[in-house]
Amino acid sequence: MNNVNELLKEKLTMENYNRLIALDNPKMHDFIADAIELTRPASVFVCTDSPADIAYIRDLAIRNGEEIPLNIPGHTCHFDGYYDQARDKAQTKYLLPPGSELGESLNSIDKSAGVEEVRSYLTDSMADREMLICFWCLGPTDSDFSIPCVQITDSPYVAHSESILYRPGYEQFKKFGTSPEFFRFIHSEGELENAVSKNIDKRRIYIDLEEDLVYSVNTQYGGNTIGLKKLALRLAINKASNKGWLAEHMFVMGAHGPAGRVTYFAGAFPSACGKTSTSMLPGQTIIGDDIAYLRKKQGQIRCVNVEKGIFGIIRDVNTKDDPIIYEALTSPLEVIFSNVLIGSENRPHWLSMGCELPTEGINHSGKWHKGKTDSKGNEITASHKNARYCLNIPDLRNRDPLLDDPEGVPVGGIVYGGRDSDTWVPVEQAFNWTEGIILKGAALESETTAATLGKEGVRTFNLMSNLDFLSIPLGRYIQINLDFANDIENPPSIFSVNYFLRDKTGKYLNGMADKKVWILWAELRVNGDVDALETPTGLIPKYEDLAKLFKDHLDTEYAKADYVRQFTIRIPENFAKLDRVEKIYKEKISDTPQILFDTFVEVRKRLKSAQDKHGDYISPFDLSTQ
């Protein structure tokens, strides 16, 4: 400890040293001392919870060119490198010691080799920069849900983003004392060229589950560098699996029912599948849009938003479909835009924002003009398809009053959704918790989007929308979810939703605003206010209940013909989906719980019985009421 203290005294100013030593945590001091010796920063800044310290980081991001001030006070824009625009799945790996096994579906590397490699890339990486040491809290502070975190980075953009996305943690660390139970993150942008990471071929994001530690280097994109986001989710899933709670890729929102009733829903959707827009439904209230921790408390399942901000995809955000977010993005609030187009008036522009885009400006490719192509001849869009915004949830006028409640909110319903063009109906309730976890969560498929590297539009299996972030064997994860409600008398109802159903011509059968009706119907079902029709895979709405919701909440006449098109049960497509998903479990997931296969057998029987009675495509008007 004396050696650590001596090194910290030597490398830090007295003010920063005193800030650090005020936190009596030897493990944290060791981590910081090691990072200083490894990266050799020109200076070190220890960030407390004070507004002055956050302002220092915000100003530093502008001074070093990582963020550009825009025309509205509080707004800045950040550009990632042209080839650093999404999560790098291939180079995001778990560091596994000898004898450890996560299964072939999870990307891993030998721990000693991986640590040696990533530390070699981090060596002297901050030699000409300031190291920022920041303390944040996952979940509300002073709560059973709280996880303290320390982030080391040389990117003020990363630190600034985390100051928006997460609750302050410096004072929390003071209360935390000497406990070793916290998460650690070290990130360096690496060598820069034109203010962006140069050595993308050496981009690495390595996760050490034993040490609750994440390394990230040679990258700037938020999904690879903002440690407390999906990188911390991986650590939390592992931690939760050993402690009896759940860490999930879920929004949390309050659905407002009759007579002032609020029912809280958690929902898991892959990126760009309507997750944030569902959490922001008009007339409802938001707790969070991305990650939730769930615990059992007083005989209930309760949950919190891990974050206090949104790092959302900005494409398609416009005044009609996302009025509250659009209002925030055009108001004098603290907002970071990333990889959008900056026009001549120093204003941000993005795809499908509801107005004509400029024909030239500055974007992630540098100077841009309409028709510009990259070195491979691919057209460069004005704004990247995965361009983002980062803002505070407390700045939104639809924030829920229980956003920071340390006890969390009671979960009334859980929703799973993805991009499915031909199988799932717009909304369906599972018969029970077990079928919900298996048929809605564990059978989730979705078409790929620009949020991850690779080809778009490919139908992929995505277990509970958490496949990219799982840090435990998949079969074990399913069993943990199945068992989670065992001692809960009235577990949350589980639903599937699908906003992307198409007809044979490719036309969407759902309007973008319709999702409000699907969620409000789920709210009524949770509280036993309406009946439902029984299908082989669950329960769907009756026409008259939807017609009333469309009229009351969207001022729209809901046609019976639309109802039939949307809620026809597609037997061949359901059979095909079961076959696809079951094949994955049989061939790639060796520890799949037997109950999953048994449930698939029972559902096939129900599908076959319905097919024999009604044919391949069954109108909802031919179904009986449960």
Helices (H) and strands (E) in the chain, counts: 18, 35
DSSP letters spanning 458-504: -EEE-GGG-GGG--S-HHHHHHHHHHHTTT-SSPPEEEEE-S--B-T
**Number of residues that this document lists for the chain:** 626
d(CA 190, CA 203): 9
Tokens standing for 132?
């920022």
Distance between CA atoms of 425 and 415, rounded to whole angstroms?
Answer: 13
DSSP element (H, E) containing 265: strand 262-268
Q: Give start and end residues of each alpha helix (H) in 297-354.
A: 323-329
What is the distance, to the nearest Å, from the Cα of residue 333 to the centroid of all Cα atoms in its chain? 23
Can you read off the two tokens belonging to residue 293?
């921790």
Range list of β-strands (E), 370-442: 388-392, 409-417, 427-429
- The 3-class SS string of 187-245 reads EECCCEECCEECCHHHCEEEEECCCCEEEEECCCCHHHHCCCCHHHHHHHHHHHHHHCC
Buried/exposed 500-513: b ≥16 CB within 10 Å, e otherwise = bbeeeeeeebbeeb
Task: Report the amino acid identity of residue 446.
Answer: S
From the CB of residue 5, how many other CB atoms can be counted at a distance below 10 Å?
14
Helices 26-39, 14-21: crossing angle, 10 deg rounding: 140
CB 411 within 8 A of CB 305: no
Cβ-Cβ contacts under 8 Å for 480 (sequence gap 6 or more): 241, 246, 472
Is the CA virtual torsion 423, 429, 435, 441 positive or negative? Answer: positive
Cβ pair 233, 249 in contact under 8 A: yes
47 counts as catalytic: no
104's tokens: 């072939």
Are 613 and 519 in contact by the 8 Å Cβ rule? The answer is no
The CA distance from 317 to 226, in Å, is: 23
Distances (CA, A) of 112 to 435, 462, 575: 41, 30, 45
Q: Are 607 and 536 in contact (CB under 8 A)?
A: yes
User: How far is it between the farthest Cα atoms of the chain?
Assistant: 81
Q: Is 303 helix (H, G, I), strand (E, B) or coil?
A: strand
Select which of 77, 149, 273, 390 is catalytic.
273
Catalytic site positions: 273
